[in-house]
Structure 1
Amino acid sequence: MPDHQRADARRNYARILAVAEEEVAARGADASLEQIARTAGVGSATVRRHFPTRRALLEAVSRTRIEALCVRAEELTGRGDSRDALLEWMGDVVAYCVSARGLAAALTYDGSPADPVHENSCSRSLEEAGAPLLRRAVRDGAVAAGVTVADLITLAVGIVLATEHHRDPAVEADRLFRLAVVGLSPLR
């Protein structure tokens, strides 16, 4: 949130974000923007002024979790087996997406033209954080050349979205991720 905003605008932003975090946790990415506005005690125009798109709201709600994933990637960079480090991080990405309803939706690519003000900063942050892990794994021959972090994020998001209504989404997402990992390894 911009620092140059008036104090009341900063308070509204904080209140909307707090309510949105609760609503997204309870209802997922489809949480009602109108309900968020009502609960926060502001008009829907105020919500839209701070969060012009649903994705902008989901990204703001997910920011803390994304930052934690970025820190985790940094911790794993250069440690142990490069393939294991990358897969451990990707497992963390999948687990976070499963546990944080709405995070997978915040990471999806919708094909919209790039908008520098409202681009997908969640995905960009994860791509930057995961790049050293992936480069090392590719250099070591543990992951096929040509695989990108964006590919890995798309894979994780697809698995999470495909399993979100499963009886035990965390177990099923982990199982499918481990199944997909076999396809990440270069042919020997």
Structure 2
Amino acid sequence: MRADARANRERLLAVAGPVLAEHGADTSMRDIARRADVGLATLLRHFPTREALLEALLGTSFDALTARTGELARHHPPHEALRRWLREFVAFTTRYRGLLSSMVAAIEDHDSALHTSCVALRAAGAELLARAQDVGAVRTDIDGADLFALVSALAWLGDQAEFAPRAERLSELVMDTLTTPPGD
């Protein structure tokens, strides 16, 4: 890649992070290009879709959160590892308003640039869930897809200004419900 093209790509990513954090994942691609002081065509050459931009910007963070499962599993009891990972997942997804919608859509869209990262992230949560279930610390009538839907709902709550103050409390309620085996 030419030096000027590399500089444009780096500038786009440097600008996109704060813009997406401030205005959400649905921010106009044109606005990101304008703020990076490049043309829309330049942005689209580097990132032909919004998902490609999100993957370039957030892929490393997705991978880090996915990798966190191993670290959490080594250092915490299974239910606490799951609880901590869920908190981190919610905190990460609420940094960028509207990111959750892109993530949920990417799970089903094999052509999305975000697909691989999002599927790996969901699988990481499912692995922590299974470990907690194996030791009887978490109810067994939930699977990885249910867990992803629940954590997505919690992240959505954090995305809504009127619910944001309650998001942490509601997350704890959900975790308390998960860690109470059915019939108790």
Q: Which ranges in structure 2 are unaligned for 5 or more consecutive residues?
A: none
Paired position in structure 2 for 1:155: 150
Instruction: Provide the C-alpha distance between the structure 2 equivalents of 1:11 and 1:68, rounded to a whole number of angstroms.
Output: 25
- How many residues matched? 182
Paired position in structure 2 for 1:177: 171
Instruction: Provide the C-alpha distance between the structure 2 equivalents of 1:136 and 1:157, rounded to a whole number of angstroms.
Output: 21
Instruction: Give 2:39's match in structure 1, choosing from 40, 43, 64.
Output: 43
For the 8 Å contact 1:123–1:153, the answer to whether it is kept is no
Question: For residues 22-101 of structure 1, what are the structure 2 equivalents within 5 Å?
Answer: 22-101=18-97
Give the letter aligned to residue 12 of structure 1.
N
For the 8 Å contact 1:90–1:152, the answer to whether it is kept is no
Percent of aligned pairs with the same residue?
A: 39
Q: Which ranges in structure 1 are unaligned for 5 or more consecutive residues?
A: none
Instruction: Provide the C-alpha distance between the structure 2 equivalents of 1:96 and 1:111, rounded to a whole number of angstroms.
Output: 17
- Provide, for residues 88-140 of structure 1, a one-character-per-residue CA deviation record: whole Å limited to 9, x for no partner: 1111211222234454344223675421x624233123134334422211211
For the 8 Å contact 2:133–2:139, the answer to whether it is kept is yes
In the TM superposition, residue 27 of structure 1 has moved relative to its aligned partner by 0.9
Please list every run of at least 4 consecutive aligned residues from structure 1 whose deviation after the TM superposition is greater than 6 angstroms.
none
Instruction: Give 1:121's match in structure 2, choosing from 108, 116, 121.
Output: 116
* Aligned Cα root-mean-square deviation (Å): 2.7
**SS in structure 1 of the partner of residue 161 of structure 2:** coil
- Provide, for residues 158-179 of structure 1, a one-character-per-residue CA deviation record: whole Å limited to 9, x for no partner: 222234232462x422222222
The verdict on how the C-alpha distance between 1:87 and 1:61 changes in structure 2, with shifts beyond 3 A counting, is: same
TM-score (norm 2): 0.80
In the TM superposition, residue 26 of structure 1 has moved relative to its aligned partner by 1.5
TM-score (norm 1): 0.79
In the TM superposition, residue 36 of structure 1 has moved relative to its aligned partner by 0.9
Instruction: Provide the C-alpha distance between the structure 1 equivalents of 2:64 and 2:109, rounded to a whole number of angstroms.
Output: 28
In the TM superposition, residue 23 of structure 1 has moved relative to its aligned partner by 0.7
In the TM superposition, residue 12 of structure 1 has moved relative to its aligned partner by 2.2
Give the letter aligned to residue 128 of structure 2.
L
